[in-house]
Amino acid sequence: MPDSPTRSSITVSGIEITRLRYDGDDLAPLPASDRQEAFSAIVQLADFRRHRLWRDGVLVHDGGHERGALAVTDLRRSWRCHHLSPFDNIRFHLPFAQLRDFAAEAGRLEYSGLESVSGKKDGVVLGIAQALLPALERPQDAGQLFLEHIGMALLTHLTQRYGGVHFPPRKKGTLAAWQEKRATELLAGRANGQVSIAELAQACDLSRSYFIKAFRETFGKTPYRWLTEYRVARARDLLKSDMPIAEVAAACGFADQSHLTRVFSEMIGETPGNWRRRGRAG
């Protein structure tokens, strides 16, 4: 029996993909992970009877995951795992910048991260993992175009299902791709100022009423809601620095600090100051 797991890895479009297998019940506890600007998605290829998981030193899970179960973790926090039974899984290491760039390329500039998930059945990720098994066994035989398509499918699914990014099917009544890009670029470019529906509609060569309906159909939200979420996402990035909260508010297009606090609290569930302190404590 091996003393350590069997590992095979490939990298696809900046995503490190690893299959990790172990047949024993005696794997030594792993050290706490270093914090990094990335997310991890792990899908089980077989039933995983038991493991213990700590987040920032606090035990958050003691149990198993069935085949097809998905775990998504924010690696900006510290994690430590003790495997207590045999396992076989596929792990996707997803740099935060990669996720955000993917969402931005699709016109979804409001992207801010993945939801944490523990043991949720996800047939799509399981199917993607199974499709990658031959490439993990023989990387030299893997077709680059196939791998890139798989990577795109993974990013699309994760950012839509767990990242709040809306990718509707293309249908009548939605914005064309060039209109999506033009509208979101104009909204993002005016994030710290003002932009009118008339300007947005004119940029997309549409009437105001049709633009509002098409935007909502495309993004699942109004232009105002899109812009608000984008501003809050920018505020979260700036709050990681030492910039005073009043300056963060001004830089992100809020009227003042109290306006930022009210909107931020409604969307995130806590004040900017508490969010900043919790992040630093973590």
For residue 236, give every residue at least 6 positions away whose Cβ sits within 8 Å of its Cβ, in sequence order, or none.
112, 268, 275
Percent pLDDT > 70 in the chain is 94
Over 50: is that where the pLDDT of 1 sits? no
E strands present in the chain: 6-12, 15-22, 38-44, 48-55, 58-65, 69-74, 79-83, 87-95, 117-121
Q: Per residue in 70-129, pLDDT tens?
A: 999 999 889 999 999 999 999 999 998 888 888 776 666 666 678 888 989 999 999 999
For residue 51, give every residue at least 6 positions away whose Cβ sits within 8 Å of its Cβ, in sequence order, or none.
61, 63, 64, 81, 82, 83, 84, 85, 87
CATH superfamily of 6-161: Jelly Rolls (2.60.120.10)
Residue type (1 letter), 210 = Y
pTM, full prediction: 0.64
| pLDDT score for 269 | 87
Confidence of residue 168 (pLDDT cuts 50, 70, 90): low
Q: Per residue in 5-47, pLDDT tens?
A: 899 999 988 899 999 999 988 788 888 888 888 999 999 999 9
Over 50: is that where the pLDDT of 263 sits? yes
Q: Which residue has the tokens 């024993």?
A: 24
Q: Which residue has the tokens 């396992």?
A: 87
Query: Pick the residue with more confidence: 215 or 101?
Result: 215
Would you list the domain boundaries of the chain? 6-161, 177-281
Q: Per residue in 130-167, pLDDT tens?
A: 999 999 988 887 777 788 888 888 988 898 888 877 66
* CATH of 177-281 among 2.60.40.1930, 3.30.530.20, 1.10.10.60, 2.60.40.60: 1.10.10.60
